[in-house]
Structure 1
Amino acid sequence: MHIEQNILDQVNEWLTPTFDQNTQDEITALMTSDPKGLEDAFYKNLEFGTGGMRGVMGVGTNRINKYTLGKNTQGLSNYLKKCFPNEDLKVAIAYDCRKNSDTLAKVVADIFSANGIKVYLFSELRPTPELSFALKYLNCHAGIVLTASHNPPEYNGYKVYWQDGGQIVPPQDGEIIAEIEALKYNDINFTANENLIEYIDTEIDEAFIKSTIENASFNTPKEAKENLNIVFTSLHGTSIKSIPAVLSKAGYTNVNIVKEQEIPDGTFPTVKSPNPEEPEALTMALALADKVNADIVIGTDPDSDRLGVAVRDTNGKMILLNGNQTMVIMTAFLLEQWKRADKITGTEFIGSTIVSTPMMLDLAEAYGIECKVGLTGFKWIAKFIKDFPDQKFIGGGEESFGFMVGDAVRDKDAVAACLLVCEIAAQAKASGSSLYNELINLYLDFSFYKEHLISLTKKGKEGLAEINQMMIDLRENPMESINGQRVVCIEDYQNTTARDLINNETFHLDIPKSNVLIYYLEDGSKICARPSGTEPKIKFYFSVNAILESKDDLEAANAYLDTKIQNIISEMKLN
């Protein structure tokens, strides 16, 4: 096959002595055995997306390896020195269960130390939220997590955190990227100063667990905790290091762990995808739940920032909740607890994202507080906390199974969310209700909101071009009606404009630019199109709603909304 000259130039650079012999040998093998794979490995540089930098592990500029991460780390080291010229710099590093995460974490630590920066490196794998906590606890200037979250086993990644414990946001992200792009690979200093690398574990673990219990406990009676029958799975990931200890110390004694998925393993041998968003991932946990007659099933992704929950419905059958449902349940509970404690003054806020359920806005209005809505990714919610110091953050989430309780951790946190959802379930059961009934009560109060997500995978260079063309078509040839409903407004976050199609007016969106389009229909339906920032996918988010008069109408309302979503999908030719 023909490979473009600019790609060959990149390949030839990687065949020089700057790169080790194993790397050169792998590239040489690809040249003869897999030219298509060689092109995919070098046709672009890996970029920072919504959740840091993620990619397939291997050789090349479009892969996760010691050189691409090394360049990131050298650039970040240079940037830290510019930002804090007269300070003794400190960084914290954590990593997950994935193949090569431990060795790549040590490479990153070596480079920081080679640049005279003090490194706190976790001695073993730890949850991502613990890194955010540790960074603040140790007064570090930055932090790194080696993780690809819920991506397939061949992936790894690199997430950068700033002083506040949140992921990098503008302008830091662009400035750091500029530093990285200004470097050549032979600028990377790999020669470690071991005296500057300190291994951390137990002290941070204990402080993190203590903080989690303080922030996510709400006076649940001891008997109620003991009566809640929990099934938990870490899906071979890092949460096994924290969640069992948190639940035990918080007083939850009836916890059944899925043993087959308890040991951390980056190959994720028992699941197709280690993602609690995917129903298949919780198959083993659901089977155990039926065996032990559990009230609730909880599963986390490999780096323990996403939380999947299953509960029993009104017929006693285990059903999976989606991220929007768990988010509104937890947010409503927090708001009610703050109200009962007379802590709501009107200066508080909750956080959500543009692709998440509009019910969050209804909840905020009902409690007389603000719901701040940002772009996809918890870094934007963390940025709200930093940008509005006079307002108190209560909690918030996003549709992709992430939630954050308070501001002790500045990223989505499945450890605290796990404890919080157990508190809600235990209190509900003790009062003769259930987590599912609490959700239905919210639908009765605020309308029945139903959301659905479609992810279309488009791999490689051709896939990227196809995704780009789909977004161009949606922008340049917008649909005027969908499923018999007029499109009344289109928000384009790439050019930060909103077009009111009824009054033919255009408004400015006061939000950072992002490649996202949202269509609003006259019946309150919402459709969002967004290329993923971390995977070769384009995602379509659907939100529809209907008034729910009584619990008896639930089944009919659910069927009506399902039909509405499927009609929208069919008309948009997405099935």
Structure 2
Amino acid sequence: MENGLSTIVDVKLDQDIKTWLAYDKNPKTAALVKALVKEGALEQLRRCFSSRMVFGTAGLRAAMGPGVSCMNDLTIIQTTQGFCGYLEQCFPDLKERGVVIGYDARAHPASGGSSKRFASLAAAAFTSRGVPVHLFSDITPTPFVPFAVSHLGLCAGVMVTASHNPKEDNGYKVYWDNGAQIVPPHDKGIAQAIEENLEPWPQAWDTEEALSSPLLKDPYQDIHKQYFKAIQQHCHHRDINKSSEVKIVHTSVHGVGHTFVQAAFKAFDLRPPFAVEEQKDPDPEFPTVKYPNPEEGKGVLTLSFALADREGASVVLANDPDADRLAIAEKQKSGQWRVFTGNELGALLGWWMFRCWKKQNPEPAAVKSVYMLASTVSSKILRAIALKEGFHFEETLTGFKWMGNRAKELLKNGKSVLFAFEEAIGYMCSPCVLDKDGVSAAAIAGEMTSYLAAEDISLSQQLTSIYEEYGYHITKNSYFICHDQEVIRSLFQRLRNHGDQKDSYPSECGGFSVTSVRDLTTGHDSSQPDNKAVLPTSSSSQMITFSFSNGGVATLRTSGTEPKIKYYTELCAAPGNSDVEQLQKELDNLVDALVEHFFEPEKNKLQPKPE
């Protein structure tokens, strides 16, 4: 190679590195690449340059570092150039309407990358093409970006965040002009446009010029004001909120949520939640937690429980670092803390949203225009409530991109979308944000808690009441970690070719009889007359659902953003069946059989979920 660097045997790799160094103006990432070349670190270089990050419906998410496989200044510029080019094709009025860009507090000193830096570079790429950019002047929760797209009538939105991923990661999340995340075929169109715009445009690196450009606006104050005004429509018990003595603890897990949840509680006239001091300020190192993901449960909430015990608080709320998810825990009479699953919170919040709506809309006919949504791997408790109460329930593919876009269609047709949720602690409690929103959900959960406390009812007691009225829905979800795509492919192909017979699925699992199989990778669904799945399929992701004769359902799927094989199981009982212990035992047995029979022989190559 040039510049006195060591010669590399791999010709393509050699050329890729030369091109990278010609394009990259970040001295830190360029120096990291040169150092690897000098050391002859072929494997590391191949990891950095062998394959470009795949732009999918979730946008991008990867570790920060040098090369096309990582999040860095150059890949952000290339991605934004492609996105801008695609938007120019789709929106003739792009230069009138513009885009919005937000960012969280992530940073990676070794490579010089940070969410704020990436957002500035994205703004520079857009403004260099004459596109107006609403760039937030400070960190924001992810929900503020889709809200801004809708509120300001923009063509698109970008949120720079890796949500709850490890500290090394970052991401580039994209919203369309309808305020929802992109869905196919936009992902392929953007990916193609990225490949056609790899060479940085002349002004794409010039963040100083972009930040002083007349095309740049700061939407922070306006969006902050309008967002809290919009969610106030879901505050129904202000008198109870004002007088409530309920004590609540909130943690933002070193993310962006603290300021915004405090403001949401104020908008609802709720008593301010106690903030976990060690975690309330943004810190990209996430020093007090192994994983900055409240979905992992008690390990992330240790400091919250300690503060709650000191202050006499009975409920803990937790956001993930970009504040689009919400976890809740409640202290039980035994003194132990119960961390609700995402499905249990879906039941509680869904019940609450419908209860509040019904109070305002007593006419029976009005319920026919009401909808609730949930992803296909989430609990079907909303379906049970809908059947009894008369509103509509729909399931979508996994991910809020599907629920957000479906909600937008329903709203355009004059329907009311009260609530949507996914089991991974994601909740859409207000259609003003067509995505999961942990800020509004926190305030609405705070009001629900205050209301129930006034009635001397705990969250756990209310959840039991919901299950007793609509039927118990017992769920058990977990995952295995797997970095080897070949192992993942082998596992799912074995399930599709059971007993070495092509297109043949297992008919039983450890004594549990399989009644139907739905494969949303291939489009097969044995429960349909033509064996074709109703929900959209995707050959680029793995997802198979097995239904069993005992009423149990199990779904195996790969994650779109993490190296995981996830499994989701549920056993539903009819109203009146309150033998919870028996139901739980039966589900536990089903899960044990699932792991033993469906994950073998690959199991020894998989890492179990960390405790």
Fold agreement, TM-score > 0.5: yes
Give the aligned residue type for 2:374.
S
Residues 1:507 and 2:529 are matched in the alignment: no
| 1:298 CA drift (Å) | 0.3
Contact 1:97 1:125 in 2 (8 A): yes
| 1:203 CA drift (Å) | 2.4
Alignment of structure 1 residues 85-484 onto 2, 5 Å? 85-87=92-94, 88-99=96-107, 100-187=114-201, 189-190=203-204, 191=206, 192-193=209-210, 194-214=213-233, 216-222=234-240, 226-279=244-297, 280-313=299-332, 315-342=334-361, 344-388=366-410, 389-390=412-413, 391-459=415-483, 463-477=484-498, 478-484=505-511
CA distance in 2, matches of 1:266, 1:342: 45
CA distance in 1, matches of 2:296, 2:23: 44
| 1:129 CA drift (Å) | 0.5
The aligned residue for residue 485 of structure 1 is 512
| 1:219 CA drift (Å) | 2.0
Alignment of structure 1 residues 2-151 onto 2, 5 Å? 6-16=12-22, 20-31=26-37, 32=39, 34-49=41-56, 51-87=58-94, 88-99=96-107, 100-151=114-165
| 1:305 CA drift (Å) | 0.4
CA distance in 1, matches of 2:409, 2:241: 41
Contact 1:127 1:241 in 2 (8 A): no
Residues 289/34 of structure 1: CA separation in 2 closer, same or farther (3 Å cut):
farther
TM-score (norm 1): 0.93
Contact 1:231 1:255 in 2 (8 A): yes
TM-score (norm 2): 0.87
CA distance in 2, matches of 1:50, 1:419: 29
| 1:218 CA drift (Å) | 2.0
Structure 1 range deviating more: 201-210 or 114-123? 201-210
Residues 1:525 and 2:552 are matched in the alignment: yes
Give the aligned residue type for 1:572.
F
CA distance in 1, matches of 2:338, 2:78: 45
Is the partner of 1:351 in helix, strand or coil? strand
Aligned-pair identity in percent equals 29
Contact 1:456 1:538 in 2 (8 A): yes
Contact 1:3 1:39 in 2 (8 A): no
Is the partner of 1:54 in helix, strand or coil? strand
Post-superposition Cα deviations, 1:19-73, rounded to whole Å, max 9, x if no partner, equal 5554332112223264332222222211234532100001111100112111111
Instruction: Considering Cα pairs closer than 8 Å and 6+ residues apart, tell me whether 1 or 2 has the greater RCO.
Output: 1
Structure 1, unaligned runs of 5 or more: none
| 1:183 CA drift (Å) | 2.4
Give the aligned residue type for 1:160.
V
Q: How many residues align?
A: 567
CA distance in 1, matches of 2:196, 2:61: 21
Post-superposition Cα deviations, 1:344-373, rounded to whole Å, max 9, x if no partner, equal 331221111111112222122222122121
Task: Note the aligned Cα RMSD (angstroms).
Answer: 2.3
Contact 2:510 2:597 in 1 (8 A): yes
Residues 70/368 of structure 1: CA separation in 2 closer, same or farther (3 Å cut):
same
Contact 1:452 1:541 in 2 (8 A): yes
CA distance in 2, matches of 1:89, 1:321: 42
| 1:188 CA drift (Å) | 7.0
CA distance in 1, matches of 2:189, 2:443: 37
Structure 1 range deviating more: 274-283 or 337-346? 337-346
CA distance in 2, matches of 1:3, 1:421: 59
